[in-house]
Amino acid sequence: MDVPHEFLDSWSNYMYLGMVAFIILGFLILGYHELRVLMIKDFKEKYDYVNLHEIKYFWYAIIAFIVAGFMFFNTIATDMIHKSGMTWFYVRLFITTSFAIIFYFIFFSAVRIYYPRFVEKRLRKLRNRPRTSPDGNPMRKLSEQEEDAHLETSMIEEELFHSVDYDVWIDEKTGYKKIEKYFAYQHSEECPECGYFTFRIDREELEKAPTENETGLFIKHFKCSYCAHREGREQVLARLSSNV
């Protein structure tokens, strides 16, 4: 079947322009995300933003690049299609669509399995970056033993009975204090079975509540979203002090 030259030339031009547009879109998505991170001054707010949005925006950029690749490969071998007929146009369209779908699922798995490792590294750096008080003084992050004196009873109970952790930063010159709350269940770690960064807290169980005389037992149940490996980890809870 003869192929109209005008149709193929227009197709190739639109595919090329679309490729350029989606490449630019992909970089704009990444740039927008990094700009938002840069504009947030408070490290805890920056931490929360990265934790909620980094993987999402990275995945949107990957989709844009996949579409750009699809469009680029639909501009290849146009001269051969001019000579050989419309059949090869549909063959090219079928092959490029198939590869686009294949790459979609490959990158989907890669982003889900591997990218959280890099996000967690970034989050750890943000969580431990030195804070500065409103007066411009450097703040010190208190140790686990020191911070309890600065936490309310309800906060201490949250740390005991839930996957919640509090960081306490203090300006020792002025006494200014900043308390930051983190949720362990929002984060992934390396699965001991498959080795991927897809191991998260699935549920928590208070096996035995601590008292002033006896320690308690808390069990965190983990599940891997990739290989479905499950594991329970016991955590001994310290005896309650008289003021809790």
Confidence of residue 8 (pLDDT cuts 50, 70, 90): confident
Range name among 53-57, 128-132, 152-156, 235-239 with the lowest pLDDT average: 235-239
Would you say residue 2 has pLDDT above 60?
no
Q: What is the pTM of this model?
A: 0.78
Percent of the chain past pLDDT 70, that is, above it, reads 95
Would you say residue 244 has pLDDT above 50?
no
pLDDT at residue number 242: 57
- Max intra-chain CA distance, the chain: 90
pLDDT at residue number 241: 64
Which residues, other chains included, contact 89 with Cβ-Cβ below 8 Å and sequence gap of 6+? Answer: 3, 8, 81
Which residues, other chains included, contact 70 with Cβ-Cβ below 8 Å and sequence gap of 6+? Answer: 96, 97, 99, 100
Which tens digits make up the pLDDT trace of 62-84? 999 999 999 999 998 887 887 77
Indicate the domain borders of the chain.
Answer: 5-120, 130-185, 188-244
pLDDT at residue number 18: 96
CA-based nearest residue to 187, from 106, 118, 233: 118
Which tens digits make up the pLDDT trace of 41-66? 999 999 999 999 999 999 999 999 99
Judged by phi (left if over 0) then psi (alpha if -120 to 50, else beta), residue 104 lies in alpha
- Higher local confidence (pLDDT), 67 or 210: 67
**Rounded CA separation 207/50 (Å):** 34
Cβ atoms within 10 A of the Cβ of 102, count?
11
